[in-house]
């Protein structure tokens, strides 16, 4: 059932067993998983069914010195959330991403991947994906696409797969189902405060602002913040009228460890030496198994552990110009990757029997947890009086260093295979961090952990020290891995739904 919060009479008392705040990937997943539980579920969404400037303005904020997307340009404030324009790249995190690693301070989740696997399997269908088994089947997918792999699975740098969601626009795909369900979805209704009881550990009331009328109060037995990683932190920090510093922030951890996946576009390139039909590489998307896949290359888990390396996912982009070594100089602009044209000539002539082709490499890389990389509140306020946020993303040179080392190993593996030459131009490091893009993956800010001194939420997503306040979404990330987050967001939301059902049944 959909209810426009703006149409509710002043003083309307609202109540629910479970109040989910935010109708994006996490919130809609939770609401769907709880809709037939017999519990009364409220889904509170700041925006309406369509994008609007008024709702989007509530997402605005400031940035620190690092170039980054302004918060209101990429996060979407309407039913469906940021899935309204996500790209659909899906991949599970690796088992090692969850492990504490001695070479990465403050690394590790309080969970092992095996504890999430059952929900990963269920998350596949939420995002309209196929079987989770196929993520390991790079050989099979490449074969179905008629492509050869330049390096084998099981090597130091190995081929891995992304599967593409259509992409699932949660607000479109699940709209009718939720509208017809018993879940009460309050649209154009924005959470602006959380009030606690005398014990300061139980949220008693949600303060809900809307245009055209005074704020409304909702009582709920459990509250889940699913407003995205930036807003989840903003909300906890802003709920400071009764508890100094905000809720769950006794150890000053809320908002810290913010990161994204830096996307390094064209920091390196390869010359493919045998571009026979389709190349030796499956660049671009592959249609196989009636699904859409993309091959990428990653240091294997064993190699990362042995070499003490952070992860990266390297894609080989569609080809640049062809060059026939027998036909003359390689003088096109892309030759810059390989130095002077004569160097390219020599390299290609020495290694290729036919035309060669140039591919630029892109990569999403893993960063180290950094407590000083953070989301804070500013003194500026939106029209509902909520303090706007500031995102101060800090990158370290060590994050790039690991990528360059991984690229070096990829170069060796490609040279060994005889299929390609990889080149990192000498000025690559000078481009960091200014010429860095990002995945639009807001990660961290309310990290999970067993120790409340270094985390905000426990292994289920419950805010440390709070009885009935939970968090869903990628604000829970501790160490980010390199995989895009939404599949894991959905898996953790499904897991939380089961946890809440058990809590309510107890
Ligand atoms: C351009 C782009 C491309 C992307 N591509 C990919 C990709 O290929 N693969 C991938 O895995 N991920 C991708 N992502 C990231 C993906 O979109 C997010 O991981 C995902 O949407 C996060 O889900 P969420 O539910 O936590 O937050 P959101 O989807 O952002 O939902 C949060 C919801 O909370 C609502 N809200 C916020 N504050 C309040 C409040 N105070 N009161 C009430 N409601 C509130 C918002 O309106 C919104 O509906 C991409 C993101 C962008 C921007």
Domain ranges across the chain: 1-129+165-259+370-395+443-506, 132-162+262-365+396-435
| Gap between the terminal Cα atoms of the chain | 28
Ligand 1 centroid distance, CA of 445 (Å): 15
Greater confidence (431 vs 45) lies with 45
pLDDT in tens, 56-111: 999 999 999 999 999 998 899 999 999 999 999 999 999 999 999 999 999 999 99
Residue nearest atom 12 of ligand 1, based on CA coordinates: 486
Q: Say what the pLDDT of residue 328 is.
A: 47
Residue 352 has pLDDT above 50, yes or no: yes
pLDDT in tens, 162-191: 999 999 999 999 999 999 999 999 999 999
Residue nearest atom 49 of ligand 1, based on CA coordinates: 81
The bridge status of strand 213-225 relative to strand 262-272 is unpaired
pLDDT in tens, 225-245: 999 999 999 999 999 999 999
Identify the bridge partners of residue 1 per DSSP, sorted by sequence position.
none
- In the structure, what pLDDT confidence band is assigned to residue 278 with cuts at 50, 70 and 90? very low
Name, in order, each residue with C-beta under 8 angstroms of 57's C-beta and a sequence gap of 6 or more. Answer: 72, 382, 383
- In the structure, what pLDDT confidence band is assigned to residue 424 with cuts at 50, 70 and 90? confident
Whether the CB-CB separation of 44 and 78 falls below 8 Å is answered with no
- In the structure, what pLDDT confidence band is assigned to residue 350 with cuts at 50, 70 and 90? low
Residue nearest atom 13 of ligand 1, based on CA coordinates: 86
Rounded Cα–Cα distance for residues 400 and 242 (Å):
42
Test site for ligand 1: of 194, 223, 227, 475, most ligand atoms within 8 A of the Cβ: 227
**Within the chain, what is the greatest distance between any pair of CA atoms?**
82
Residue 15 has pLDDT above 70, yes or no: yes
Ligand 1 atom closest to residue 208's alpha carbon, by position in its atom list:
42
Residue 439 has pLDDT above 80, yes or no: yes
Name, in order, each residue with C-beta under 8 angstroms of 335's C-beta and a sequence gap of 6 or more. Answer: 341, 344
Residue nearest atom 41 of ligand 1, based on CA coordinates: 191
Average pLDDT value over all residues in the chain: 91
Ligand 1 atom closest to residue 29's alpha carbon, by position in its atom list:
25
Ligand 1 centroid distance, CA of 444 (Å): 14
Q: Say what the pLDDT of residue 450 is.
A: 97
Residue nearest atom 1 of ligand 1, based on CA coordinates: 86
Q: Say what the pLDDT of residue 337 is.
A: 55
Q: Say what the pLDDT of residue 277 is.
A: 42
pLDDT in tens, 311-347: 999 998 877 666 555 554 454 445 455 555 555 556 6
Region of poorest pLDDT, from 219-233, 342-356, 462-476: 342-356
CA dist 173 → 176, 362, 425, 495 (Å): 8, 31, 45, 21
Residue nearest atom 19 of ligand 1, based on CA coordinates: 486
What 3 state SS string does 346-402 have?
HHHHHHCCCCEEEEEEEEEECCCCCCCCEEEEEEEECCCCCEEEEEECCCCHHHHHH
Residue nearest atom 50 of ligand 1, based on CA coordinates: 86
User: Per-residue pLDDT averaged across 369-392, rounded?
Assistant: 98
Ligand 1 atom closest to residue 487's alpha carbon, by position in its atom list:
11
Helix-helix angle 486-505:25-34, to 10 degrees: 40
* Ligand 1 binding pocket, CB closer than 6 Å: 21-27, 44-47, 74-75, 77-78, 81-83, 85-89, 190-191, 226-228, 231, 235, 440-441, 473-474, 484-486, 489
Q: 473: phi > 0 → left, psi -120 to 50 → alpha, else beta; which?
A: left
Rounded Cα–Cα distance for residues 476 and 478 (Å):
6
Ligand 1 centroid distance, CA of 39 (Å): 26
Ligand 1 centroid distance, CA of 171 (Å): 11
- In the structure, what pLDDT confidence band is assigned to residue 146 with cuts at 50, 70 and 90? confident
Test site for ligand 1: of 486, 491, 493, 494, most ligand atoms within 8 A of the Cβ: 486
For the domain covering 1-129+165-259+370-395+443-506, report its CATH number: 3.50.50.60
Residue 425 has pLDDT above 80, yes or no: no
Identify the bridge partners of residue 377 per DSSP, sorted by sequence position.
389
- In the structure, what pLDDT confidence band is assigned to residue 141 with cuts at 50, 70 and 90? confident
Rounded Cα–Cα distance for residues 315 and 267 (Å):
12
Ligand 1 centroid distance, CA of 46 (Å): 13
Calculate what percentage of the chain has a pLDDT beyond 90: 75
Residue nearest atom 53 of ligand 1, based on CA coordinates: 74
Ligand 1 atom closest to residue 47's alpha carbon, by position in its atom list:
47
Helix-helix angle 113-126:25-34, to 10 degrees: 90
Ligand 1 centroid distance, CA of 25 (Å): 6
Ligand 1 centroid distance, CA of 442 (Å): 9
Rounded Cα–Cα distance for residues 99 and 109 (Å):
6
Q: Say what the pLDDT of residue 358 is.
A: 75
Q: Say what the pLDDT of residue 48 is.
A: 98
Name, in order, each residue with C-beta under 8 angstroms of 483's C-beta and a sequence gap of 6 or more. Answer: 91, 92, 93, 94, 97, 313
Q: What is the DSSP letter of 431?
A: G
Q: Say what the pLDDT of residue 327 is.
A: 52
Q: What is the DSSP letter of 158?
A: E
Ligand 1 centroid distance, CA of 476 (Å): 14
Greater confidence (208 vs 420) lies with 208
């Amino acid at each position: 059932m959909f209810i426009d919060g703006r149409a509710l009479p002043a003083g309307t008392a609202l109540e629910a067993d479970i109040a989910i705040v935010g109708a994006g990937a996490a919130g809609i997943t939770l609401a769907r998983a709880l809709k037939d539980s017999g519990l009364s579920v409220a889904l509170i969404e700041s925006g309406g069914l369509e994008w609007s400037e008024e709702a989007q303005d509530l997402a605005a904020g400031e940035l620190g010195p690092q170039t980054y997307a302004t918060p209101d340009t990429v996060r979407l404030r309407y039913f469906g959330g940021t899935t309204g324009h996500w790209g659909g790249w899906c991949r599970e995190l690796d088992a090692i991403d969850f492990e504490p690693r001695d070479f990465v301070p403050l690394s590790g989740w309080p969970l092992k991947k095996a504890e999430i696997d059952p929900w990963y399997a269920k998350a596949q269908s939420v995002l309209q994906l196929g079987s989770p088994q196929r993520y390991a089947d790079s050989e099979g997918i490449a074969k179905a696409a008629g492509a050869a792999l330049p390096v084998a699975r099981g090597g130091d740098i190995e081929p891995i797969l992304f599967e593409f969601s259509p992409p699932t626009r949660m607000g479109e795909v699940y709209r009718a189902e939720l509208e017809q369900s018993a879940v009460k979805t309050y649209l154009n209704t924005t959470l602006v405060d959380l009030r606690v009881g005398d014990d300061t550990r139980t949220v008693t009331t949600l303060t809900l602002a809307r245009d055209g009328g005074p704020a409304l109060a909702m009582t709920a037995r459990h509250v889940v913040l699913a407003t995205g990683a930036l807003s989840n932190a903003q909300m906890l920090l802003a709920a400071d009228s009764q508890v100094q510093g905000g809720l769950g922030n006794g150890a000053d951890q809320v908002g810290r460890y913010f990161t994204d996946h830096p996307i390094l576009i064209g920091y390196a390139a390869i010359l493919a030496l045998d571009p026979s039909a389709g190349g030796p590489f499956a660049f671009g998307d592959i249609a196989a198994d009636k699904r859409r896949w993309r091959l990428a290359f990653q240091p294997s888990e064993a190699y990362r552990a042995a070499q003490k390396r952070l992860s990266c996912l390297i894609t080989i982009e569609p080809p640049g110009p062809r060059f026939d070594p027998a036909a003359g100089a390689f003088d096109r602009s892309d030759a810059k990757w390989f130095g002077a044209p004569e160097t390219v000539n020599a390299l290609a002539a020495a290694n290729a029997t036919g035309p060669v082709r140039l591919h630029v490499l892109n990569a999403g890389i893993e960063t180290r947890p950094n407590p000083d990389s953070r989301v804070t509140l500013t003194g500026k306020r939106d029209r509902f009086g909520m303090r706007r946020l500031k995102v101060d993303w800090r990158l370290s040179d060590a994050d790039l260093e690991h990528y360059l080392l991984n690229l070096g190993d990829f170069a060796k593996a490609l040279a060994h295979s005889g299929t390609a030459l990889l080149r990192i131009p000498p000025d690559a490091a000078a481009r960091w961090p200014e010429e860095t893009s990002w995945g639009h993956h807001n990660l961290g800010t309310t990290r999970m952990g067993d120790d409340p001194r270094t985390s905000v939420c426990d292994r289920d997503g419950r805010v440390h020290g709070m009885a009935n306040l939970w968090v869903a979404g990628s604000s829970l990330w501790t160490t980010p891995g390199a995989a895009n987050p939404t599949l894991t967001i959905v898996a953790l939301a499904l897991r939380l739904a089961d946890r809440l059902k058990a809590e309510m049944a107890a």
